[in-house]
């Protein structure tokens, strides 16, 4: 296998990397949802709100990557999130340098994984189009591809009808989508993805107050770091040195999902009724992905349809985490994207 190129040099290669970006953003969502579902209702409210906000913004990043792909793909294939484009757990974060993804209950191991995913790139770190160390370096390579190919990317005309427009009624997180029409709007979309994840100008803040005039919020990495450090960030705080009020986490209010759950399900070790409920949850997840894929390819109604399906997925996922399966462990969602 030949080594990956150091630069993105063609439209086709840029489109391939944008599809990878969509897959990458999708891959993070079940990880955060599993941790969210494992927390008992009404407990650890700060943590639940944090996880929910990050999930919403990862959905935004997926939409932004899809808009970027539509803007430059010409007659090529639109965004995919079903089939082989969907992640599988356990697995490796798509095109990373071995970041291992496992569905875990909320706790220290899950937080360590989340911080490794959202880790800010080191100052002046090189771009990495594949086998990246940080997501920021991966998107830096995409930004360089846009800059290198320049205005020629948009000479064929831009596919506007399929792009997700800003200020949609079914989005409730920070930031907003960007309709990509030229190099400037492409760079704005990329800046939003990176800044929300790892911070802007080497601060702990996500940049939405600068890009869109919204209230100041922490970047994803530093939202998780607050929990690790056990204290909130305040304006003026440096990374890893929050000085605000303490964040108290009730570890007893977490249901511990069996880390061998998928293996036990697929080797027929569990009660068939539990397996049936897990498969129902898988089916809802597959419906969510189908609706998202249609919505990302221009059917805005399907994006709206995905919202109640997501609530259904949360209900089913939380219900699974309440089912004990021995040794103090519980069932949970598996997020299998292909019907079993």
Cα–Cα separations (whole angstroms), residue 150 to 11, 50, 129, 183, 312: 10, 37, 18, 7, 43
Q: Given this model, what pLDDT does residue 2 score?
A: 41
Q: Specify if 318 maps to a domain.
A: no
Q: pLDDT, tens digit, for every residue of 90-102?
A: 999 988 988 999 9
HSE-CB of 292 using CA atoms within 13 angstroms: 26
pLDDT band at 222 (very low <50, low <70, confident <90, very high): very high
Given a cut of 90, is residue 116 above it in pLDDT?
yes
Q: Specify if 279 maps to a domain.
A: no
Q: Specify if 167 maps to a domain.
A: yes
Q: Given this model, what pLDDT does residue 262 score?
A: 96
> Are 11 and 149 contacting, i.e. CB atoms less than 8 angstroms apart?
yes
Q: pLDDT, tens digit, for every residue of 225-275?
A: 999 999 999 999 999 999 999 999 999 999 999 999 999 999 999 999 999
Q: Specify if 17 maps to a domain.
A: yes
pLDDT band at 283 (very low <50, low <70, confident <90, very high): very high
Q: Which residues pair with 324 in a beta bridge?
A: 330
The H-or-E segment that residue 329 falls in is strand 329-330
Residue 310 carries which DSSP code?
H
Q: Specify if 154 maps to a domain.
A: yes
* Containing structural domain, residue 205: 11-255
Q: Given this model, what pLDDT does residue 273 score?
A: 97
Q: Is the dihedral of CA 78, 84, 89, 95 positive or negative?
A: negative
> Are 29 and 58 contacting, i.e. CB atoms less than 8 angstroms apart?
yes
Q: Please, what's the b/e burial string for 11-22 (b: 16 or more CB within 10 A of its CB; e: otherwise)?
A: beebbbbbbbbb
CA atoms of 274 and 245, how far apart (whole Å): 42
pLDDT band at 208 (very low <50, low <70, confident <90, very high): confident
Q: pLDDT, tens digit, for every residue of 1-19?
A: 344 557 899 999 999 999 9
Q: Given this model, what pLDDT does residue 3 score?
A: 47
Closest CA to 106 of 57, 28, 48: 48
Q: Is the dihedral of CA 130, 106, 244, 172 positive or negative?
A: positive
> Are 281 and 274 contacting, i.e. CB atoms less than 8 angstroms apart?
no
Given a cut of 70, is residue 144 above it in pLDDT?
yes
Q: Specify if 300 maps to a domain.
A: no
pLDDT band at 80 (very low <50, low <70, confident <90, very high): very high
> Which CATH number do you get for residue 158?
1.20.1260.10
pTM of structure: 0.94
Closest CA to 166 of 135, 219, 211: 211
pLDDT band at 160 (very low <50, low <70, confident <90, very high): confident
| Number of domains into which the chain is organized | 1
CA atoms of 48 and 62, how far apart (whole Å): 21
With H, G, I as helix, E, B as strand and everything else as coil, classify residue 164: coil
Q: Given this model, what pLDDT does residue 174 score?
A: 79
Would you state the structure tokens that stand for residue 157, as one six-digit string?
Answer: 């005309």
Q: pLDDT, tens digit, for every residue of 302-329?
A: 988 999 999 999 999 999 999 999 999 9
pLDDT band at 161 (very low <50, low <70, confident <90, very high): confident
Kindly state the average pLDDT of the residues 94-119: 94
Q: Specify if 286 maps to a domain.
A: no
CA atoms of 189 and 78, how far apart (whole Å): 18
Q: Specify if 339 maps to a domain.
A: no
Rounded mean pLDDT of the chain? 92
CA atoms of 177 and 149, how far apart (whole Å): 23
pLDDT band at 215 (very low <50, low <70, confident <90, very high): confident
Length of the chain: 340
Given a cut of 80, is residue 168 above it in pLDDT?
no
- Other Cβ atoms less than 10 A from the Cβ of 327: the count is 7
**Which tops the pLDDT comparison, 166 or 6?**
166
Kindly state the average pLDDT of the residues 142-157: 89
Given a cut of 50, is residue 220 above it in pLDDT?
yes
Q: Given this model, what pLDDT does residue 1 score?
A: 39
């Amino acid at each position: 296998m030949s080594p990956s190129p150091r630069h993105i040099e063609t439209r086709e290669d840029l489109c391939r990397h944008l599809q990878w970006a969509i897959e990458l953003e999708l891959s993070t969502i079940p990880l955060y949802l599993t941790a969210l579902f494992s927390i008992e209702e009404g407990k650890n409210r700060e943590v639940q709100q944090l996880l929910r906000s990050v999930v919403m913004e990862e959905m935004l990043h997926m939409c932004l990557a899809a808009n970027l792909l539509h803007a430059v793909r010409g007659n090529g294939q639109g965004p995919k999130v079903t089939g082989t484009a969907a992640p599988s757990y356990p697995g490796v974060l798509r095109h990373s340098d071995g970041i291992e993804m496992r569905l875990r209950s909320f706790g220290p191991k899950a937080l360590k994984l989340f911080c490794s995913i959202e880790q800010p790139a080191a100052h002046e770190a090189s771009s990495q189009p594949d086998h990246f160390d940080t997501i920021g370096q991966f998107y830096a390579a995409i930004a360089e591809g846009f800059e290198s190919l320049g205005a020629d990317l948009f000479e064929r005309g831009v596919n506007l009808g399929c792009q997700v427009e800003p200020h949609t009624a079914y989005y409730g997180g920070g930031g907003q989508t960007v309709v990509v029409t030229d190099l400037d709007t492409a760079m704005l979309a990329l800046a939003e993805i990176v800044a929300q994840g790892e911070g802007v100008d080497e601060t702990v803040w996500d940049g939405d107050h600068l890009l869109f005039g919204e209230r100041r919020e922490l970047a994803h990495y530093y939202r998780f770091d607050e929990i690790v450090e056990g204290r909130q960030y305040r304006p003026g705080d440096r990374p890893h040195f929050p000085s605000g009020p303490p964040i108290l986490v009730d570890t007893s209010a977490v249901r511990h999902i069996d880390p061998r759950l998928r293996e036990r399900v697929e080797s027929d070790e569990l009660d068939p009724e539990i397996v049936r409920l897990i498969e129902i949850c898988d089916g809802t997840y597959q419906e969510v992905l189908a609706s998202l894929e249609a919505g990302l390819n221009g059917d805005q109604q399907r994006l709206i349809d995905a919202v109640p399906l997501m609530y259904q997925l949360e209900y089913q996922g939380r219900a699974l985490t309440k089912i004990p399966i021995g040794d103090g462990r519980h069932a949970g969602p598996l997020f299998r994207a292909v019907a079993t």
